[in-house]
Structure 1
């Protein structure tokens, strides 16, 4: 177990703040689709959707499997990560940790394969820096400066049974 950077309460506060920012920046929730990047991003996207629903109204959520789009993927999976046409939607990609940007590049490719969204933006719980690609999040739960040797782990109750962000 590493050093706890965010506990359950701090994660909840960050997600609540992100929900308000999403509503404000988009002037409501019309045509918004929260696209949770598997594995933990989908759980965070569902939580954001629940908070947004309490404040403003229902927003759609979909899971996104980016493995077939990764530049380090060796599998033969078909590129069918997104099941619906995204044309005309404001897609908000949701992920747990933004590091090099390669996962987000893969997510962008997956989205573009399914139509032409009006807009694609990015919400992350943790931005730890060290980008290898010119990708910047639009919504950030917390900036955590790290070294490349450190590892940031996001734990969610849906997977590990508890909520926390730890640095090792």
Structure 2
């Protein structure tokens, strides 16, 4: 197994700050904008974005929630064993608000499609935008594109992009994992 570090510590922090400033540029004081982290992996990035935005905007209260998409996925019945859902933590209505969906890696687009379906249980937003740390841009199964991109990666479907966070006991890091090619038979 080959591992290549795409982003780590300082580079991730700089990327998150850049994304925050892009959000401020488009949403000003966040009076009508909410952040929604997609569970399970997008919540770590959403927490960091939320924390940095409130620090940059001098403790302005920005609404943030976490959205579970387990039963909205098109593949949840295909998995062996019981499916365990996470809990939603959205204590506000999104009706008429601008929503920024946040996830760590955009790959096929299926997670985002499920999130859009799940989001409607909380009202009809004025607008939905997508922010991702990593965009695996040549792997889409659905026509979904992010509005805010931390880093783009051209990868094969056989490769995996793994994001780890200091807040979950690891370190801030994005790794591209590849299986070594099979040896050629003579």
RMSD between aligned residues: 1.9
Mean Cα displacement is larger for which, 65-74 or 100-109?
A: 65-74
Residue 61 (1) aligns with residue 64 (2): yes
Distance apart, 1:132 and its partner CA = 0.7
CA contact (8 A) 1:68 1:77 kept: no
TM-score (norm 2): 0.83
Residue 116 (1) aligns with residue 124 (2): yes
Structure 2 segments unaligned to the other structure (5+ residues): 178-186
Aligned positions, number: 167
Of 134, 144, 154, the residue aligned with 1:145 is 154
Distance apart, 1:88 and its partner CA = 1.8
CA contact (8 A) 1:33 1:61 kept: yes
Structure 1 segments unaligned to the other structure (5+ residues): none
Alignment of 1:17-96 (within 5 A): 17-56=18-57, 57-74=60-77, 81=88, 83=90, 84-96=92-104
Over alpha carbons, which structure has the higher Rg? 2
Secondary structure of the equivalent of 1:91? strand
Distance apart, 1:8 and its partner CA = 1.1
Distance apart, 1:29 and its partner CA = 1.3
TM-score (norm 1): 0.92
Aligned equivalents of 2:83 and 2:143: distance in 1? 28
